[in-house]
DNA sequence: AAGTGTCACAAAACCGGTTTTGTAAGTCAA
DNA sequence: TTGACTTACAAAACCGGTTTTGTGACACTT
């Protein structure tokens, strides 16, 4: 595996002009102690020979890689996360303007996540990390802080006080969601969430509770269900909640994937999402617009978030204090057609559901 | 932006043991001319000090980066490509096993694509490239071949004879699609494709034509439409084809995004996809399963393709001849529910459509 | 006229590894 | 016993840059 690309080096340029290589370097790095004449000759030679400095050699001396890293957790669900794809796009765009690059690796378990982090740090392949999908008690963040290695988190952990992060105000967003549903006329509002290990899932659940409390609505533990964050999980969650004696007339879902599965369950029972049952998601996935009914969802621009986080990390590398780099954004409700005033009360819904279920016993989940 | 990570160097290890640093290097690289005793002492010190070699320094000498690059075209559509997300996952997994990493950059125009390629090559940040979404006449591939820089393409170009590639047999797949539709009873089969600059789009169109010919069906140019590869494009394409005097009873779409838009158009007109009109996509997007109706589609494993391509690139770097690294795979039809026997003839469909269109004039496209 | 700066560049050190070259000590055959 | 090989390692060169140090030529004071 040899990669002996016989490319032009700084020595070639120096020899071509007849100066020392240090001089060439100084010209290229805009030092002032070079005569105009020499500068021109060197620049011309650089042009002619098509010289570009080797990032590796430069990095070795500078101790910097001009490369940021991101480790993506994969495999604990089905396929890649559409949010992350746009997020990475946003990062790459921001970095491109600064001449930095992004190293992407994946990890399929918690241990592997840390192993990969360690390897990249030890080998000095990156200058800093972007951490996504933070957990309440996140081993990656613990490790990076312990190592004092620069990073920025997209999402917070249980104690977000001492590192840089960018996050959505999940609590407020979900409290707003509850308020929105209440204003539509819903009083029994269900929450379909994900594992509380994930910080955003916990915050969204908390926001849901806060929303209920602010409105003086009773909190009913039965109206909360936590599932795997996937369409399948959404299907099961909707099944759980709608099988209650007093089913919710609206389902606030922690992600679009959950909402999509919930809508599917409704359709399976012949319920119209948007009138018989209201379903709201979160993520603003483009495909939501093409579902039936088009999905009402909270949206943040993943691309924008990526750019923002990348720039924050660069600030950290420039020596800014991480504590001063903490920002909260709000998600926007995109109303499409899966929400609306309830067409029946919880009691009527329960009755309708009982009839359907008797007619048509469930197969448990959509199967292949 | 200083990154003076005071980490352990090979000199520290050498001094700690009392040997020359070359000796340490030889131990770590499994040279045989080291006594068992010395080897043990060095290994112990490495362990104790937690030494890990700097990738940068090693790369400088070796002239190799242990890093592969991928440049993703973005921005000429809406958001990130879900296929690519899984594809990258597949690459990253394969590379992880070999201790290599993946550098991801994005480019938002043709020129930018080449600029980025040039920069990465000149700066020697990567050892080879993976090129995706090949065009019939692809400037990236032309450039890489001219530079003799190692790469593997996912997808072919007009002349795929002299480089390494992995591709789906688009022609056969789409010819099979036509055969499948014919066997269901369809005789007027439409094709909803994308720009012929993209090689896969062209091949799928060609496969469609070949399928018709093999079955002795007439080829009607009106039954082909090319649109932007997006849900919006699919919506417009379906509108175009179904507005014909003799509309197709089945739509073979070049991608899932197109199919999703086409199904939306059908729904808007009150047509049931799967009976009134058959729609088949290509990509096997997971979300297709949760559409109404669940989308019938051709599928290839993006993740598998990523792994395959990564391993091919490593073979190229190891010196294998690119010509010997060319592989064609087949996509599999995943039958869900958007295809079926036609419920009406083309004439009946035309009549039905005319009535709908009079009742309910179109807004042109789905709006916000 | 000698001392002092400045200018513009050369020369060399350095970053942290790998690889080549050199060599003292031990082994073996003649 | 001596020359030829091994063995096991030290020393140095090298990768391609950046940065520090050194220096000759000239201008400018006093």
What mean pLDDT do residues A119-145 have?
A: 94
pLDDT at A4 over 50: no
Q: Which of A123, A71, A131, A139 is nearest to A310 (CA)?
A: A131
Higher pLDDT, A81 or A52: A52
Whether B62 sits with its Cβ under 7 A from any strand C atom: the answer reads: yes
| A76 and A131 belong to one structural domain | yes
In a domain, B136, yes or no: yes
CA distance B174 to chain A (A): 23
Token pair belonging to A59:
């990095």
Residues of B in contact with A125 (CB under 8 A): 55-56, 67, 101
Q: What rounded mean pLDDT belongs to chain A?
A: 91
| B145 and B242 belong to one structural domain | no
In a domain, A62, yes or no: no
Other beta carbons within 10 Å of B44: 12
Please give the protein residue whose CA is closest to the C1' of the nucleotide C6: A33
- Local confidence band at A368 (pLDDT 50, 70, 90 cut-offs): very low
Whether B64 sits with its Cβ under 7 A from any strand C atom: the answer reads: no
Please give the protein residue whose CA is closest to the C1' of the nucleotide C11: A20
Whether A35 sits with its Cβ under 7 A from any strand C atom: the answer reads: yes
CA distance A48 to chain B (A): 15
Give the distance, in angstroms, between residue B14 CA and nucleotide C26 C1'.
25
In a domain, A364, yes or no: no
Residues of B in contact with A50 (CB under 8 A): 122
pLDDT at A32 over 60: yes
Top residue of B28, B46, B55 to mutate, by most chain A CBs within 10 Å, is: B55
| A141 and A190 belong to one structural domain | no
Protein-proximal nucleotides of chain D (any atom < 7 Å from a CB)? 7-20
d(CA A77, CA A187): 33
CA A57 to chain centre: 34
The pLDDT assigned to B185 comes to 97
Whether B22 sits with its Cβ under 7 A from any strand C atom: the answer reads: yes
Weakest-pLDDT range from A64-78, A208-222, A225-239:
A64-78
Q: Are A103 and B67 a contacting pair at CB < 8 A?
A: yes
pLDDT at A82 over 90: no
Nearest residue of A to residue B79, measured between CA atoms: A86
Coil, helix or strand for B275? Answer: coil
| A222 and A338 belong to one structural domain | yes
Q: Are B80 and A92 a contacting pair at CB < 8 A?
A: no
Distances (CA, A) of A118 to A110, A122, B52, B74, B96: 13, 6, 10, 31, 13
| A349 and A213 belong to one structural domain | yes
| A154 and A294 belong to one structural domain | no
Tell me whether B8 touches chain A (CB under 8 Å): no
The pLDDT assigned to B312 comes to 97
Tell me whether B332 touches chain A (CB under 8 Å): no
Q: Are A105 and B96 a contacting pair at CB < 8 A?
A: yes
Weakest-pLDDT range from A302-311, A352-361, B141-150:
A352-361
Top residue of A123, A234, A235, A266 to mutate, by most chain B CBs within 10 Å, is: A123
What mean pLDDT do residues A38-54 have?
A: 94
pLDDT at A311 over 80: yes
Residues of B in contact with A95 (CB under 8 A): 105
| A108 and A131 belong to one structural domain | yes
Q: What is the CATH number of the domain that holds A163?
A: 3.40.50.2300
In a domain, B318, yes or no: yes
| B215 and B340 belong to one structural domain | yes
pLDDT at A199 over 90: yes
d(CA B47, CA A254): 45
Query: Percent of chain A beyond pLDDT 90?
Result: 82
Higher pLDDT, A253 or A367: A253
| A188 and A296 belong to one structural domain | yes
What mean pLDDT do residues A163-180 have?
A: 98
Give the distance, in angstroms, between residue A164 CA and nucleotide C11 C1'.
45
d(CA B77, CA B227): 12
Distances (CA, A) of B318 to B30, B128, B167, B306, B321: 20, 11, 21, 18, 9
B9, closest nucleotide (Cα–C1') = C16
- CB half-sphere exposure, B236, CA atoms < 13 A: 14
- Among B4, B105, B260, whose Cβ lies nearest the Cβ of A287? B260
d(CA A320, CA A44): 38
Distances (CA, A) of A22 to A32, A63, B59, B123: 13, 18, 22, 19
| A184 and A254 belong to one structural domain | yes
Q: Are B101 and A105 a contacting pair at CB < 8 A?
A: yes
Tell me whether B320 touches chain A (CB under 8 Å): no
The pLDDT assigned to A362 comes to 54
Q: What is the CATH number of the domain that holds B19?
A: 1.10.260.40
Token pair belonging to A109:
């378990």
The pLDDT assigned to A360 comes to 62
| B94 and B20 belong to one structural domain | no
Q: What is the pLDDT of residues A251-268, one digit of tens each?
A: 999 999 999 999 999 999
In a domain, A4, yes or no: no
Give the distance, in angstroms, between residue B18 CA and nucleotide C12 C1'.
27
Q: What is the 3-state secondary structure (H, E, C) of chain A?
A: CCCCCCCCCHHHHHHHHCCCHHHHHHHHCCCCCCCHHHHHHHHHHHHHHCCCCCHHHHHHHHCCCCEEEEEEECCCCCCCCHHHHHHHHHHHHHHHHHCCEEEEEEECCHHHHHHHHHHHHHCCCCCEEEECCCECCCHHHHHHHHHCCCEEEECCCCCCCCCEEEEECHHHHHHHHHHHHHHHCCCCEEEEECCCCEHHHHHHHHHHHHHHHHHCCCCCHHHEEECCCCHHHHHHHHHHHHCCCCCCCEEEECCHHHHHHHHHHHHHCCCCECCCEEEEEECCCHHHHHCCCCCEEEECCHHHHHHHHHHHHHHHHCCCCHHHCEEEECCEEECCCCCCCCCCCHHHHHHHHHHHHHHCCCCCCCCC
pLDDT at A76 over 60: no
Token pair belonging to A160:
């977000």
Weakest-pLDDT range from A134-148, A350-364, B176-190, B254-268:
A350-364
Q: What is the pLDDT of residues A270-284, one digit of tens each?
A: 999 999 999 999 999
In a domain, B3, yes or no: no
d(CA A324, CA A139): 23
Tell me whether B2 touches chain A (CB under 8 Å): yes
d(CA B317, CA A187): 63
Q: Residue-wise pLDDT tens for chain B (368 aa)?
A: 333 456 899 999 999 999 999 999 999 999 999 999 999 999 999 999 999 999 999 999 999 999 999 999 886 545 567 788 889 989 999 999 888 999 999 898 999 999 999 999 999 999 999 999 999 999 999 999 999 999 999 999 999 999 999 999 999 999 999 999 999 999 999 999 999 999 999 999 999 999 999 999 999 999 999 999 989 999 999 999 999 999 999 999 999 999 999 999 999 999 999 999 999 999 998 889 889 899 999 998 888 999 999 999 999 999 999 999 999 999 999 999 999 999 999 999 999 998 887 776 554 443 33
CA B233 to chain centre: 19
B11, closest nucleotide (Cα–C1') = C16
Protein-proximal nucleotides of chain C (any atom < 7 Å from a CB)? 7-20
Q: Are A78 and B286 a contacting pair at CB < 8 A?
A: yes
| B216 and B203 belong to one structural domain | yes
Query: Percent of chain A beyond pLDDT 70?
Result: 94
In a domain, B109, yes or no: yes
Whether A60 sits with its Cβ under 7 A from any strand C atom: the answer reads: yes
**Contact residues for A224 (Cβ-Cβ < 8 A; gap 6+):** A190, A191, A193, A205, A208
Alpha-carbon Rg for chain B in angstroms: 27
List the beta bridge partners of residue A340.
none
The pLDDT assigned to A2 comes to 33
**Which residues form the domain of A114?**
67-168+303-330
- Domains: count for chain A: 3
Give the distance, in angstroms, between residue B5 CA and nucleotide C23 C1'.
37
- Among A55, A60, A116, whose Cβ lies nearest the Cβ of B57? A60
In a domain, B5, yes or no: no
Q: What is the pLDDT of residues A96-105, one digit of tens each?
A: 988 899 999 9
């Amino acid at each position: 595996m040899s990669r002996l690309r016989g490319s032009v080096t700084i020595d070639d340029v120096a020899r071509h002009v007849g100066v020392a290589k240090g001089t060439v370097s100084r010209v290229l790095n805009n030092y002032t102690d070079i005569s105009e004449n020499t500068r021109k000759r060197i620049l011309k030679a650089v042009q002619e020979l098509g010289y570009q400095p080797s990032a590796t050699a430069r990095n070795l001396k500078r101790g910097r890689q001009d490369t940021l890293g991101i480790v993506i957790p994969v495999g604990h669900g089905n396929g890649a996360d559409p949010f992350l794809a746009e997020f990475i796009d946003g990062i790459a765009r921001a970095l491109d303007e600064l001449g930095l690059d992004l190293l992407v690796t994946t990890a399929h378990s918690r241990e592997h996540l840390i192993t990969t982090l360690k390897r990249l740090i030890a080998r000095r392949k990156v200058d800093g990390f972007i951490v996504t999908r933070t957990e309440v008690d996140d081993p990656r963040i613990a490790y990076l802080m312990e190592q004092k290695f620069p990073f920025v988190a997209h999402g917070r952990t249980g104690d977000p006080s001492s590192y840089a992060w960018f996050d959505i105000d999940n609590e407020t967003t979900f409290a707003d969601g509850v308020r929105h549903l209440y204003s539509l006329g819903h009083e029994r509002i269900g929450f379909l969430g994900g594992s509380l290990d994930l910080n955003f899932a916990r915050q969204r659940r908390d926001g849901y509770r806060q929303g209920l409390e602010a409105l003086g609505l009773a909190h009913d533990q039965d109206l909360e269900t936590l599932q795997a964050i996937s369409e399948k999980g959404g299907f099961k969650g909707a099944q759980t909640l709608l099988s209650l004696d007093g089913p919710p007339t609206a389902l606030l879902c922690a992600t679009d994937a959950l909402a999509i599965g919930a809508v599917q369950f409704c359709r399976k029972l012949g319920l119209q999402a948007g009138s018989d049952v209201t379903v709201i998601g979160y993520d603003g996935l483009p495909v939501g617009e093409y579902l039936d009914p088009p999905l009402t969802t909270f949206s943040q621009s993943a691309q924008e978030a990526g750019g923002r986080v990348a720039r924050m990390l660069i600030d950290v590398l420039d020596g800014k204090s991480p504590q001063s780099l903490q920002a909260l954004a709000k998600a926007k409700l995109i109303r499409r057609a899966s929400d609306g005033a309830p067409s029946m009360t919880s009691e009527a819904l329960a009755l309708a559901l009982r009839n359907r279920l008797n007619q048509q016993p469930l197969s448990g989940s959509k199967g292949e």
